[in-house]
A = this chain, B = another copy of it.
Amino acid sequence: MKALAAITGAGCTKVGEHWERSLLDLAVEACLRALEEAGNPPVRALYVGNAASELVNEQGNLAALLADALALEGIKAAEVRAGDASGALALHQACLDVSLGQEGAVLVCGVEKMTDVMAPEVERVQMLFEDSRSTFHSGVTVPGLCALLTALYMERYKASYEDIVLFAVNDHRNAANNPCAQYPFPITVETVMGSPLVADPIRLFDTAGIGDGAAALVLTRPEEARKACDAPVAVVASEVATDRVNVCEREDLLCLRSLRLAAKRALKRAGLEINRVSFFEVHNTTSILGILALEALGLAEPGRGVELLREGEIAIGGRCPTNTMGGLKGRGHPWGATGIYQAVETVWQLRGEAGKNQVEGAEVGLAHNMCGLGSISCVHVFARWEVVS
């Protein structure tokens, strides 16, 4: 394993309904935390991931605004956009930038403020990440599309919805110990089954909520990492892949092909087998997507993902601990920020700072962030500095 980049600082805000604060406020808080951890190095570039600020917050041009707010006069700044994969895609672009080997730190921030509009508008905006020529104008929502996949999965593989939502239950159990989580409390299968139906069979407690948040990372060249901090974390792979945007045009509706491709490339780049990965962060807007992600990663055969849940393999202490700090359902899913939250939480694990949720001996973490139902997948592999050559 060779480091592409070193993470020398990581910070985030609590995910929640920050009525009293602006998008920019949240981004500044996350960035200042990450910069402080990194010892406030000179920053030479800023990357911002955000999904929908023009529509939801009446503000575009976030990269320049954030550079301005942080008094990073004159630096390079760029905004990267891919719906709810914007955060990880921004991290990917930042890794490319670091690879060019210039001196100085690169700051990456994912931010989203979704509570400036009401829920139906959030759902409308979310559908703009799908193909407006087909899906969007049909009036279906993302939970609606997930409902179709869930029903198909249940029929094809004789799975029960009670088994599927164990994914959400795992998320909440882990979120309970994450001080930055939006929903830091455990739930049971009964909690999910007793919650309102959103799109049959999907229920409210099986869908990621609407929340605000920002997360940030400071990256440097690997050569500079040790100078900058005692416990850097290595990015050892950063890969992006696409799939048909319209789910209905995919060869197999239950195969997240973009994730499969990106993960394959990432593991090849890192020179790793999947069983060398200590824990996983996957993109579960609803439980079915989390399960399909486990299967696309090769952790279970198609249709057998539910067995991992039933047998406790995705719990802390299981064979493949997943969403160790709460995932999209428990920590919360502020779209463009989610990919960076995943990275921040991975850094906590690899530094041994995950508290009650610490995965024993964690050396390598893999994070998956995608747009919508997988039109774009980003996969990052992170490692403890000690195991990188």
A78 within 8 A of B: yes
What is the oligomeric copy number? 2
Whole-angstrom CA separation of A258 from B97 in the bound complex: 19
Question: Please, what's the 1-or-0 string for A79-96, where 1 marks a CB less than 8 Å from any CB in chain B?
Answer: 111110000010011001
12 other contacts beyond A65-B375, A78-B82, with CB at 8 A cut-off? A54-B55, A54-B128, A57-B132, A60-B81, A63-B82, A64-B243, A65-B245, A76-B239, A77-B240, A77-B242, A93-B93, A99-B99
The 9 A-B pairs with the shortest beta carbon distances in the complex, nearest first, are: A64-B375, A60-B128, A76-B240, A59-B132, A61-B129, A96-B96, A79-B81, A67-B242, A64-B376
A257 within 8 A of B: yes
A83 adjacent to B99 (CB under 8 Å)? no
A interface residues with partner B (beta carbon < 8 Å): 22, 24, 51-52, 54-55, 57-61, 63-65, 67-68, 72-83, 89, 92-93, 96-97, 99-100, 125, 128-133, 136, 239-246, 257-258, 261, 371-372, 375-376
Q: A190 to nearest B CB, angstroms? A: 36
Q: A332 to nearest B CB, angstroms? A: 21
A245 adjacent to B78 (CB under 8 Å)? no
Query: Of residues A81, A93, A100, A375, which shows the largest number of chain B Cβ atoms within 10 Å of its Cβ?
Result: A81
Whole-angstrom CA separation of A71 from B81 in the bound complex: 21
Residues of B contacting A129 in the complex (Cβ-Cβ under 8 angstroms):
60-61
Residues of B contacting A81 in the complex (Cβ-Cβ under 8 angstroms):
60, 79-81
